[in-house]
Structure formats: structure tokens, C-alpha cells
A and B are shown apart, each in its own frame.
Chain A
Amino acid sequence: MIEIKILTDFTFAPGARDYDDGKDSGQEFYETLLKSKFDEALKQNVQLKIDLDGVEGYPSSFLSESFGLLGNEYGAEEVWKRLIIVSNEVALYIKKIKKYIHEKR
């Protein structure tokens, strides 16, 4: 299994949608970490576990951009079956991520 813990691997305070919105955006997360880890998981044919806990919070546009791009690039079903999302603090984020992965862009 490949793992990402956003608090330690990316930021304690996620930003908004894209680079124009400033640091630690969803676009930056996708391009600098999420895409490469997902590629790695695909290559090794393992799951990618993403731990969302411990940060200040997630603007919806952050989740929409990062996971929306992932779903768009690799196909919603492929992405959803390969991801394990851990969110013990805010369970709602899992439902939102599923929605953004499946949303057409």
C-alpha cells in the first residue's frame, strides 16, 4: 500500500482551488503529490491510502480540484476502487471526495 498523510506530507492548512488562489492549493497538491503517488500505486497494483486528519480543514474547492483532476485523468471507477480515504475527524469529506471524483469536468 502507498500512503499519503496530508498533514505531514503536504500542509497543515490546505488552500483553495488553484495556483492563482495562493499556496497549498488543490491543484498544487494534485500536481506535486497526489498524481505521482497514484501512478506509483497503479504501477505496483496496490491501493493508495490518503489520511485527511490533523489539518486545519479542507475548502471544498481544494477537494474538488485535486480529486476532480484525479478522476478526470484516470477514470472515476478506477480511482475510487484504488483509494482508501481515512477521515476520522470529518466523515463528510469521504462523501464529498467520492462526488468530486465522479463529477464531469
Chain B
Amino acid sequence: MKSKVTIHKKHSASRARYQLKRRRWHNGIRRRKGGARASRKPLVFVEHPAPQVFDLMPENAEATIKYINLVKKIGGKRKGVDFNLKEVTSIGVGAISMLLSVMAELRGKGIRFRGTKPTNKNAKDTLERSGFMRYVSGKISLENRKTKNTIFTGKKRTHHTMILNAIHTSNETVWGLKGRNQLLYGMLVEMIKNSCKHAFQSDKDVRWHIAVNHDEENNRVKFSFVDNGIGVIKSHQKGDFFKQVTKVFSNLPDFIEGAYTEGIRSKTGLSWRGTGLPFIYESFDENVISNFVVITNEAYINFQTEEKKSLKNAFSGTYYYFEVNTECLKQCFPIEYDRN
């Protein structure tokens, strides 16, 4: 008579073989007939050097967005991307978060990445301190490990309270007290929800990224928000409303400016319904934030300097940059509730 233990061992062995077969199938390792192992084709990595100045200041935005678009194109051809940042001498946190948004989209399609950090020490330190390395499993030098800077990513169902720590610590840097900033909170929630509602064709594709960079020496905090959706212009290109409205504006940057400042209503008499763009602009108008920049599709607008231009290299998503500093409206209230 076979013992129960023997039967149990046989069952375990066949189950283990089944699980191993499943794992190999998932990893793309299949056996040809006759038992020889066949692996899927190795991923080809395409290297492309980033521009020396990798930021989104008006004079550098074109080159940076051109690089970002090239990364998307490489990934779109099912090739791995090799970021060569070796010659970069200056990096902006906005450019880092824009790059991360594209990487998140490509990673969802199975594209892999590798890269070389800048040789320039300042650029390398900025990259390491930004929070970016966490997303690429990269090493961080000892002196750059302690930082308040962070980049976080959300999806459609991410709870809006995820941003609270970023707001509280930004108040600590600017005003010396970890506390609530009601108007900043309101604006960030509007940005997130606007992205979730309008920027993507499907809820499952929603990805937004917020980068927070602390300049403690100058009591200043830099924020950037990016989504890699379809952008403000493309999300409103349906129907007659867009055609009527764009006739009134001489170019797309003017139209985008009008979308945020409610200039569309005043110039056309038509109500710009359905998006939270004026709610986002309000915070700049009320001096809650400063140095507010928007890049979306072909439009670049700096509301602070009133600079507007059409980009030759369009960015398919929406990018916001802004700062909170001691020139802004002081909004710093103690945290009075207990979340526990």
C-alpha cells in the first residue's frame, strides 16, 4: 500500500514542475523540440546623448523636449533606452520629472532602461538628490542621500492625501513651520483631478508625477507636475467649440493662456466649461505660487514673465512648474487634527 506521504510528495513534484514552467513562460524562456532552451530575443538598447543643458527654461525647452520625444520614439519601436547623461552640465527638476513621466509610460509597455550619470558634479548631485534614482534602482552618493526632495507618482485612484507631506515640508522650508497651506493644497488637488479627468483616453492609463525640490538656502520650494497624456489642446479639439474659439485667438499659446485666465469667456462670450484650468491659474493670480510655467502640446507660457511661444517640438502631455517662496502669500497653519 502506498503511504499518504509518498502520494503527497508526487503531487508536490508535479505542482512544482507546473509552476516552474509557468515562470519560464512568463520570462520568455521556452524549450524548442528536443529540449534545447530558446530565449526571447535580447532587448536592443539605443543610446542617445541628452543635451548639455537639460532643463525647461525657455531658451532650452526645445532641445530638452526634442530629447524626451526621441526617448518615446525609441521605446515605441520596442527597443531599450540607454540614457547617456554623461555630457550634461546642468539639469532642471522639471526636465527630470518630464523624463520620468515618459519612462513610466514606456515601462508599462515592457521597455527597459539603463543610463550613465553626468560627469559634471553639480548635475550629478541634482539628479541624485531629486528622487529620480529611486525609480531606476540607481546608486546614490552618500552625501546626496539625505534630502527632502522627492518625486511621487499617482494613478486615477490614488488618494489626494498623498500630497500632504510634500505641502507640510514645503512650509517648513519656506516659513519655518511644518504646517498646512490651504490654497496650495487646493491647487494641487485641482491639477491632479484635471489630469485624471481630461488627459487620458482610459482610466487605467492615468499617471501623474509631482517633483518637489527644496532650496533651503533661499527658503524656496520648486514644484513640477507632469502627466504624459494628450495635452490641453488635444483634449479640447473635439466639436465646434474649439473651432469657434481658436478663430478668435491668433495662435495656440494665446488660446492656452485664455483657457487658464478665462480670456476665452471674455473674448468670445462662450463659457469654457468642464475643466479646472481657471481654478489652477487662480493660485498664481492670488499669489499663492510664483514663476508659473505651463508647457502643453505646442504651447509654452510663462505667466510670471508673460513670455509665450509656439514650440517646434511639441510635448504631448501637460507640464506645470511653479515655486513657493517668501514673496508668496503666507499660508502656514498648524496641523490641528489627528489622522489616527
Q: Which residues on A are within 8 Å of B, measured CB to CB?
A: 7, 12-13, 15-17, 20-23, 54-62, 64, 89-90, 92
Contact = CB atoms under 8 A, between A and B. Distances in A.
Interface string B187-227: 10110110011000000000000000000000000000000
Contacts of B339: 12
A22 B193 CA distance: 9
A58 B186 contact: yes
Contacts of B159: 22-23
Interface stretch (B103-111, B117-125, B160-168): B160-168
Interface of B: 157, 159-161, 164, 167, 180-187, 189-190, 192-193, 196-197, 276, 279, 282, 286, 331, 333, 336-337, 339
B182 A89 contact: yes
Given A22-B193, A58-B186, A60-B190, 17 more contacts: A12-B337, A13-B161, A16-B160, A16-B276, A17-B193, A21-B193, A22-B160, A56-B164, A57-B184, A57-B189, A58-B182, A59-B193, A59-B279, A60-B279, A61-B276, A90-B182, A92-B183
B190 A59 contact: yes
B279 A20 contact: no
A89 B186 CA distance: 14
Nearest to B280: A60
A21 B196 contact: yes
B193 A56 contact: no
Q: Which 4 A-B pairs have the closest CB atoms?
A: A57-B185, A57-B182, A16-B193, A60-B279
B223 to A, nearest CB: 15
7 contacts: A16-B192, A21-B197, A56-B185, A59-B276, A59-B279, A60-B186, A92-B286
B333 A15 contact: no
A77 B159 CA distance: 36
A12 B183 CA distance: 14
Nearest to A89: B333
B197 A90 contact: no
A59 B161 CA distance: 13
Main secondary structure of the interface of B (DSSP, over half): helix
Nearest to A25: B193
B158 to A, nearest CB: 9
A16 B159 CA distance: 11
A57 B186 contact: yes
Contacts of B190: 16, 59-61
A7 B182 contact: no
A89 B172 CA distance: 18
B161 to A, nearest CB: 5
B189 A16 contact: yes
B205 to A, nearest CB: 16
A22 B157 contact: yes
A60 B276 contact: yes
Given A12-B337, A16-B189, A89-B333, A57 B160 contact: no
Nearest to A17: B193
A7 B333 CA distance: 14
Contacts of A7: 336-337
Nearest to A13: B161
Given A7-B337, A22-B160, A56-B164, A61 B193 contact: yes
A57 B193 contact: no
A6 to B, nearest CB: 11
A12 B334 CA distance: 13
Contacts of B157: 22
Contacts of B186: 57-60, 62
Given A58-B182, A61-B279, A13 B160 contact: yes
B210 to A, nearest CB: 15
A11 to B, nearest CB: 10
A35 to B, nearest CB: 22
B9 to A, nearest CB: 50
